[in-house]
Amino acid sequence: MTAVAPDTTHHTALHQRVRDFISADRPMLIGGEWVSSASGRTFETIDPATARPITSVAHGDATDIDRAVRAARQAFDDGPWTRMKPNERERLLWRVGDILTERAEEFGQLEALDNGKAATIAAAVDTQWSADIFRYNAGLATKITGSTVDVSMPFVPGGEFHAYTLREPVGVCGLIVPWNFPLLMASFKLAPALAAGNTVILKPAEQTPLTALLLGEVFHEAGFPPGVVNIVTGYGEAGAALAAHDDVDKIAFTGSTEVGKKIVDAAKGNLKKVSLELGGKSPNIVFADADFEKAVAGSVAAWMFNHGQCCVAGTRLFVERPIFDDFTAAVAEAASQAKIGPGLDPSTELGPLVSQEQFDRVSGYLSAGLADGARALTGGKRWGDEGFFIEPTVFVDVEPSFSIVQEEIFGPVVAAMPFDADTGVAAAANDSIYGLAAGIWTTDLSKAHRTARQIKAGSVWVNQYNGFDTAMPFGGYKQSGWGRELGSSAIELYTQTKAVNISL
Ligand code: NAD
């Protein structure tokens, strides 16, 4: 492989280890070895702040996926991993959490470079939360239990039995993740999968492969046996090969609903288990009695955090009619103040979108919204003339049928709509194929509880947005997914139950 000379013009503040990491082509991790793709091909990963290459990574395809699945199978069937005691897995996972904490600045910078988000946020949120997830799941490794069952066995009169259940790992798990929170989405899956004793193949998104590869070094440093964690970088074809592979027992996927449906089709061959975290178009509901300032700040963060590239982004803003004009004006004003720039600039609040493709897609929605008759209170166009920046955009005068209201845009764009107290807001809020999250802003406790029950979504946040916690389950209603990640129940996604009944 040949290294691409990285553009270093805005890399002056980079950590030496990040410089070293991007100064050469990055191989992938299969069976404990750092290897090139079988084809020898590589692909460039791009800095979205400049549209220039950062470095090249191995271009894995179906052949490499097959190599990785074999390595994971061998590690599951023959390796020391499955003979390890739960407390040994606990210590390894805890160590990963500690290393991530120690190296948070490095991970934050690399994520900022590859994804475009602010390095400070990538260190403080993406990396430190990932560390927390590894430590939380380290604790779960020793708490995976079956149960004893007092069976009746009516067809064996007089018999005596000892019956119990075992909770066992599923086996070889394929983990396919998107580019919006590259390290975090990988951690959501890796930590419970490994706590439960599975072996894994991680396929990061082609736009953002770098922190997954750096995480591979952390697994090595922590002392994981070879083949337990394999990382194959590549495009959708590599993900498709993983989803279709007959020797993979489970696929955990985060990404678009469109690709999620393809995963379901591909998994049919061997009926592998599937869990899905998919798209969203979440309602954020502001009642007239809400704390105005708090609701404005929270509602801006709801759709602008991570440049709108959040599956849970509160991009349908429902505001009770008496405060609609003032509230949307305040949201537009606050959004227009956001400092736009590259993720490596510490003052940046809004970075670039991740890729040219995403930039074109979001630009298309801006044009469609305006053509449909929506009015932009702020934004509505590209920012600057380099990189993939879009101005934060607040649309009003929108109809429920507009594509900017129905479809996931995945950029810093919100569509605001008024609602009336007498008709309520639940029907409009639930008018979506998605059901991932929702926000509610009110000072009336009864209204908060009542509305939380009416909303069809996997997470509801009251007087806050993005109210995630490692201990709270997360996942989607409707076409936003299957299963719940995070929380202790995530272990269920990576284990299966065996019923043992012994005639005494
Ligand atoms: P995507 O679906 O295009 O890609 C996600 C991953 O799937 C990538 O690794 C990609 O290479 C791979 N892939 C592509 N085609 C594939 C195929 N046919 N078979 C198997 N794998 C394939 O999504 P994206 O554009 O990277 O991410 C944005 C989407 O992710 C949004 O829809 C967003 O809502 C969703 N998302 C959901 C959550 C959640 O928890 N619900 C979290 C983050 C992102």
pLDDT tens by residue, 426-439: 999 999 999 999 99
Confidence (pTM): 0.96
Q: How confident is the model at residue 13 (pLDDT cuts 50, 70, 90)?
A: confident
Which atom of ligand 1 lies closest to the CA of 204? 9
Q: 155 with 268, same domain?
A: yes
Among 33-42, 127-136, 145-154, 345-354, where is mean pLDDT lowest? 345-354
Q: How confident is the model at residue 12 (pLDDT cuts 50, 70, 90)?
A: low
Residue 2 has pLDDT above 50, yes or no: no
Q: 240 with 377, same domain?
A: no
Question: Which residues are registered as beta bridge partners of 101?
Answer: none
Q: Is residue 388 part of a domain?
A: yes
Q: How confident is the model at residue 343 (pLDDT cuts 50, 70, 90)?
A: confident
Q: Which of 113, 130, 115, 131 is nearest to 54 (CA)?
A: 113
Residue 4 has pLDDT above 70, yes or no: no
Q: 244 with 359, same domain?
A: no
Q: Is residue 8 part of a domain?
A: no
Ligand 1 center–CA 206 separation, angstroms: 10
Alpha-carbon distance values, 466 to 13, 323, 324, 421 (Å)? 30, 23, 22, 25
Ligand 1 center–CA 158 separation, angstroms: 56
Q: How confident is the model at residue 283 (pLDDT cuts 50, 70, 90)?
A: very high
Q: 308 with 328, same domain?
A: yes
Residue 7 has pLDDT above 70, yes or no: no
Ligand 1 center–CA 184 separation, angstroms: 14
Residues 479-487 have a mean pLDDT of 98
Residue 140 has pLDDT above 50, yes or no: yes
pLDDT above 70: percentage of residues in the chain: 98
Orientation angle between helical segments 210-222 and 86-102, nearest 10 degrees: 130
Q: What is the DSSP letter of 485?
A: B
Residue 272 has pLDDT above 80, yes or no: yes
Residues 389-416 have a mean pLDDT of 97
Which atom of ligand 1 lies closest to the CA of 207? 26
pLDDT tens by residue, 373-384: 999 999 999 999
Q: 452 with 326, same domain?
A: yes
Residues with CB under 6 A from ligand 1: 176-180, 185, 203, 205-206, 235-236, 239-240, 243, 254-256, 259, 262-263, 277-280, 311, 408, 410, 436, 476, 480-481
pLDDT at 163 (0 to 100): 98
Ligand 1 center–CA 354 separation, angstroms: 13
pLDDT at 344 (0 to 100): 86
Residue 357 has pLDDT above 80, yes or no: yes
**Cα-trace Rg, the chain:** 24
Residue 9 has pLDDT above 70, yes or no: no
The total number of structural domains in the chain stands at 2
The residue whose CB lies within 8 Å of the most ligand 1 atoms, and thus the one to mutate among 125, 175, 180, 315, is 180
Nearest Cα residue to atom 19 of ligand 1: 240
Q: Is residue 152 part of a domain?
A: yes
pLDDT tens by residue, 167-191: 999 999 999 999 999 999 999 999 9
More confident residue, 290 or 79: 290
Residue 8 has pLDDT above 80, yes or no: no
Residue 3 has pLDDT above 70, yes or no: no
Q: 250 with 343, same domain?
A: no
Which atom of ligand 1 lies closest to the CA of 178? 26
Give the CATH number for residue 104: 3.40.605.10
For residue 490, what are the domain limits? 21-278+481-500
Ligand 1 center–CA 44 separation, angstroms: 19
Q: 422 with 309, same domain?
A: yes
Which atom of ligand 1 lies closest to the CA of 176? 9
Ligand 1 center–CA 253 separation, angstroms: 7
Q: 271 with 334, same domain?
A: no
Alpha-carbon distance values, 44 to 1, 9, 54, 172, 193 (Å)? 11, 18, 7, 29, 29
Ligand 1 center–CA 345 separation, angstroms: 28
Q: 193 with 289, same domain?
A: no
The residue whose CB lies within 8 Å of the most ligand 1 atoms, and thus the one to mutate among 43, 130, 175, 176, is 176
Which atom of ligand 1 lies closest to the CA of 436? 41
Give the CATH number for residue 368: 3.40.309.10
The residue whose CB lies within 8 Å of the most ligand 1 atoms, and thus the one to mutate among 256, 307, 459, 486, is 256
Stated as kind and residue range, the H or E segment containing 437 is: strand 437-441
pLDDT at 93 (0 to 100): 98
Q: Is residue 332 part of a domain?
A: yes
Compute the distance between CA of residue 483 and CA of residue 477 in angstroms, rounded to an integer: 9
List 90, 111, 277, 485, catalytic entry: 277
Q: Is residue 6 part of a domain?
A: no
Q: How confident is the model at residue 11 (pLDDT cuts 50, 70, 90)?
A: low
Alpha-carbon distance values, 115 to 58, 85, 136, 358, 420 (Å)? 18, 37, 26, 12, 40
Q: Is residue 2 part of a domain?
A: no
Q: How confident is the model at residue 130 (pLDDT cuts 50, 70, 90)?
A: very high
The residue whose CB lies within 8 Å of the most ligand 1 atoms, and thus the one to mutate among 258, 263, 311, 472, is 311
Q: Please, what is the average pLDDT of the chain?
A: 96
Compute the distance between CA of residue 243 and CA of residue 173 in angstroms, rounded to an integer: 10
Alpha-carbon distance values, 133 to 112, 129, 227, 347, 490 (Å)? 20, 6, 22, 28, 11
Residue 5 has pLDDT above 70, yes or no: no
Q: 182 with 287, same domain?
A: no
pLDDT at 10 (0 to 100): 54
Q: 271 with 288, same domain?
A: no
Q: Could you write out the DSSP letters of every residue in 122-164?
A: IIIIIIHHHHHHHHHHHHHHTT----EE----TTSTT--EEEE
Which atom of ligand 1 lies closest to the CA of 474? 40
Q: Is residue 10 part of a domain?
A: no
Q: 226 with 329, same domain?
A: no
Backbone dihedral angles phi then psi of residue 114, each to the nearest 5 degrees: -85, -35
More confident residue, 341 or 470: 470
Please confirm, yes or no, whether 492 is among the known catalytic residues: no
